[in-house]
Chain A
Amino acid sequence: MPMETARKEAFIVHAVAPAETVPETSVRPEVVPYILDEEAIARARSRRIVWGRFAVAVLIFLVWEVFTRIGWLDSYYWSSPSAILTTTWTQITEGSLLGDIAYTSGSTLLGFVFGTFLGALLGLSFWWSRSYAGISEPYLIILNAMPKLALAPVLVILLGIGFFSKVALAFSMTVVVSALSAYSGVKSVDPDMEKLMYSLGAKRHQVFAKVVVPWSMPWIISSLRINIALALAGAIVGEFIASSQGVGRMIMYAGTILDINLVWVGVVVLSLLSMLMYWGVVVLEKWLSKGLAKQ
C-alpha cells in the first residue's frame, strides 16, 4: 500500500517504494522459458512450401501421363505430357513455333504498352477540367462495359489481317481499364495537398506534375496486372479471326485439321507466355513503385 505523504488543498501525493528496494527474486521466473526460434520455423515453412508446390506439379504431370497411357483418359482429346513435349520440339525445329511466339508476344506487348500509357494519360487529363471529366465519364463507362472482342471482325476488316489489327485489339482491351484506374487516382487526390501547393505559389502544371501524377501512380500500377492478361486475350482473338502467323492462328489451324496434340502445344505455350509476362509486370510494378510511389 502506498503511503500518504502529503495532503494539499486539491490533491494528495502518495509515496511509492523506490525500484531498488523491490526484491529481485520476486520478478525473475524460476524456470528458464523455452525461447521459440521464430526464424527457424519460418525458414522451415518456406522450404516446405517450395517442395510442396514442386511435388504437386510432378504429381499432376505424372497422373496425366499415366492415365492417358493406360487408357483412363482418351489420349486423342487429352494428349499427354510426353506427346506435347515431342510435338513442341518438332514445331520448334521444323515448324514456325518460335516465330509464332514472337508474333503473339510482339502484338500483345505493343498493345499493352500503348494502351496502358495512353489510357493513363487520358485518365490523368481529367484532372484539368471538371466539366471535361464530367462529360467524358459516362462514355468511358460505356466503353468499359462494351465487349471489345465483339468488335474484332470490324477491326480486322478495317486494319487488315496483319500485325496491326492484333495490336489494335490488345490496345482497345487495355486503354479503358487504364484510363479508369488513373481517373480513380486523380479523383482521390487530397484537396488539401493541392491547396498547399497553390499556397506555395505553384502553377497548375506544377501541381499536376508534382502531386497529381505521383499520387495517381499506385492506381495506374494496379491496372498493369489486369492489362497484360487482357492484352494477350485481345491479340489471340485477333489471330483467331484472321491471321497468317501467331500462336492463336496455330491453335485455330490445329483445330481445323484435328491435330489435338498441336492444340495442346498452343495452350501450354500461351500459358507459359502469360505467366512470363505476368512475372515481367510484377518486376515492372516493383521498379515503378520504388521510383515513384514510395508510401
Chain B
Amino acid sequence: MSHKIEISGVSKWFRRDGQEIPAMRETSLSIEAGRFVSIIGPSGCGKSTLFNIIAGLMPPSTGKVLADGENIVGKTGYVGYMLQKDMLLPWRTILDNIILGMEIRGVPYKEATERALPLMEKYGLKGFDKHYPRELSGGMRQRAALLRTLLYDRDIILLDEPFGALDAQTRLTMQNWLLQIWADFGKTVLFVTHDIDEAIYLSDDIYVFSSRPGRIKTKITVTMERPRKTEDMTSPAFMDLKHHLLDLLSAGHDEEQIS
C-alpha cells in the first residue's frame, strides 16, 4: 500500500531562558491511505506540536514531512485541520462557515453552497444553514466544524481532540457520526485524543506517545471488525486492549513523577 503521509525524524526544540528544551523527540511514522490513526499520550507530549508541523503552521527543528511523496514542511493548505474548539466565525451563518475553506480557495458562492447543503442535510445539520453558531449546541457546532474541514477537500484530515469538550452522551453520538463520515469519504484521518475508549473504538492504528519530551512508545493495530457498534466497547477484546493501553500510559505517568 502507498504511504499517504510520511513523517521522518521530525523533532521540535524550543529555546527558553537560553536553554534548548525538547518538545518532541525525533518521531517517524508512515500512514497508509484511508486509515484511521489515533495518537494518544499524556497532555504536553507534543501531540499538538506534531499536528502543527504536519499542517505547515510550524517548522520542525529536524526532519521532514511528506504527503504523497511531496515535502510539505512549512506549507499550509495540504491537510484539513480541526481543533478542539470549533472555531466557527460567530458573525457568519453555519452555511457560510462551512464553505469558508472553499471561499478561500476561490470557489464561487453558488457552487460552494450547492455542495455544502446536501452534506448538511445528510449529516445532521438540515435546516441550520441560516443559524448562527451561538444558536447551536456543542455537538452541532463540532459537526459544522468537521464539515468545513471535509469540504476543504484534502485527503488527509487532522483532528485535534475534536470531542474533548463534549459531554459523554454527545461524544458517543459524535464518534459514530465521525465513523460514518470516514466510511463515506475514505479520508486518511489522524486523530489526537487522550480518551483511551475513543482511540480504540475509532482507530485502525494507535500510536502511544510518552510524556514530554514526546516520542513514540508503541504502535498498536486494532483488528476489531468494522463497522463497529457501541456494544463493542464492552467486549472482552476491547477491555483487553484498554487494559494494555492503561498500563502503557500509567507507566509513562510514573516516569514523569519520578524524574
Residues of A within 8 A of B (CB): 190, 192-193, 195-202, 206, 210-211, 214, 217, 292-295
Contacts and interface: CB of A to CB of B under 8 A. Distances in A.
Contacts of A214: 89, 91
B55 interface: yes
B100 A200 contact: yes
Interface stretch (B3-11, B75-83, B237-245): B75-83
Nearest to A218: B91
Given A192-B83, A206-B104, A198 B89 contact: no
A162 to B, nearest CB: 42
Interface in B102-158: 103-105, 132, 134, 152
A200 B91 contact: no
B91 A201 contact: no
Contacts of B152: 200-201
A210 B103 CA distance: 10
A201 B57 contact: no
Contacts of B134: 295
Interface size class on chain B is 20 to 34
A199 B90 contact: no
Given A206-B104, A294-B132, A199 B76 contact: yes
A200 B101 contact: yes
Nearest to A207: B104
B104 A197 contact: yes
B85 A192 contact: yes
Contacts of B21: none
Given A195-B57, A200-B152, A201-B104, A294 B90 contact: yes
A190 to B, nearest CB: 8
Contacts of B91: 214, 217, 292-295
B76 to A, nearest CB: 5
A293 B55 CA distance: 29
Contacts of A196: 81, 83, 87
Given A199-B56, A214-B91, A295-B134, 14 more contacts: A192-B83, A196-B83, A197-B104, A198-B57, A198-B76, A200-B81, A200-B101, A201-B76, A202-B104, A206-B104, A210-B100, A217-B91, A293-B91, A295-B90
Interface string B51-86: 010011100000000000000000011011101010
Nearest to A201: B77
B141 to A, nearest CB: 13
B89 A199 contact: no
Contact of A210 (B76, B81, B89, B132): B89
B73 to A, nearest CB: 15
